[in-house]
Amino acid sequence: MSQTFPSFSAWRFLRRVSMRAMFLSLALSAPFASASVIYTQGHVTTVTDVLNSGTLVVANNLGSGAPSTTVNGVAFGNSAANLGGMANGGGDFSTQFTSGGPLDLLLSGLAFQYGGTSSLSLTGLSAGTDYMLQLFLANQVNATGKTSRVTVQGQIYNLLNFGNGADYLRISFTALSGTEVINFGNGSGSEPDRMVLNAYALSTAGSSSVPEPGSLALLGIGLLGLGLGKRRSSR
């Protein structure tokens, strides 16, 4: 029984196609860190500025005696357990909305940064999944928080002055691991630079566009097969 071995030129072609498929797979499987963090800041004027989209992961109303409340279908608890370097503040920090209304309940209390840095830890995430974090900010009482900074995955956003009313900051990101730490402040410790936070809500934002490892392997095999087919048809 005779055997047919590929010619040297065919072997070189196979090797070239295999290498290209491998490099493409490696490029597509690069760490999620290449994904952008998108910040969007705006004014809170109605309950619909509290977005209700995706699947809610966690939401909390902050401040001393902050009640659990529901705004635009988003159910807020009142836990501050995931905050670091922040303390609950008491009193009415927002006079923008009707007393007792859903937005007033969400924005009247706050947690404030008492030192150079503070943070919010988001746990139980799935690496590669897209999330949207909503931060709610209102502070008409003093200067704290008016020049604060937010850092997610090394990407910095400097908050614009929100002293004249309530603002939201929406942060879209792809989780790199099961825990993401959102850092606040610029380390100066001065009052205007300290973060104030009335509430936050985290939800999923749809599936990630990053292929699974199995999909990458199938893609590489498919590209190799396509190259072989073209090579044979040209002979």
- Each residue's pLDDT tens digit, 197-206: 999 999 998 5
- The pLDDT of 108-116, averaged and rounded, is 86
pLDDT over 90 for what percent of the chain?
A: 43
Q: What is the pLDDT of residue 152?
A: 97
Tell me: do 130 and 71 sit in the same domain: yes
- The pLDDT of 114-139, averaged and rounded, is 93
Query: Residue 48: which pLDDT band, with cuts at 50, 70 and 90?
Result: very high
pLDDT over 70 for what percent of the chain?
A: 61
- The pLDDT of 112-141, averaged and rounded, is 90
Tell me: do 20 and 87 sit in the same domain: no
Query: Residue 17: which pLDDT band, with cuts at 50, 70 and 90?
Result: very low
Strands 167-174 and 130-137: antiparallel
Domain count, the chain: 2
Tell me: do 58 and 174 sit in the same domain: yes
Going from the C-alpha of 192 to that of each of 88, 96, 144, 160, the distances in angstroms are 17, 21, 4, 12
Question: Residue 172 sits in which domain range?
Answer: 32-204
Query: Residue 208: which pLDDT band, with cuts at 50, 70 and 90?
Result: very low
Tell me: do 66 and 138 sit in the same domain: yes
Read off the CATH number of the domain in which 67 is found. 2.60.120
Tell me: do 98 and 199 sit in the same domain: yes
Residue type, 15: R
Q: What is the pLDDT of residue 28?
A: 40
Going from the C-alpha of 142 to that of each of 145, 185, 202, the distances in angstroms are 9, 16, 27
Helix 213-233 × helix 8-28 angle, to 10°: 150
Radius of gyration of the chain (CA): 25
Rounded mean pLDDT of the chain?
77
- Each residue's pLDDT tens digit, 135-168: 998 865 555 656 778 999 999 998 876 656 788 9
Cβ atoms within 10 A of the Cβ of 69, count? 19
- Each residue's pLDDT tens digit, 30-43: 444 446 999 999 98
DSSP state letter for 77: B
- Nearest in space to 94 (alpha carbons), one of 164, 47, 170, 168: 164
CA triple 65-70-76, angle to 5 deg? 55
Does the structure show a pLDDT above 90 at 211?
no
CA–CA gap between residue 210 and residue 128 (Å, rounded): 7
- Nearest in space to 93 (alpha carbons), one of 50, 62, 138: 138
Does the structure show a pLDDT above 70 at 192?
no
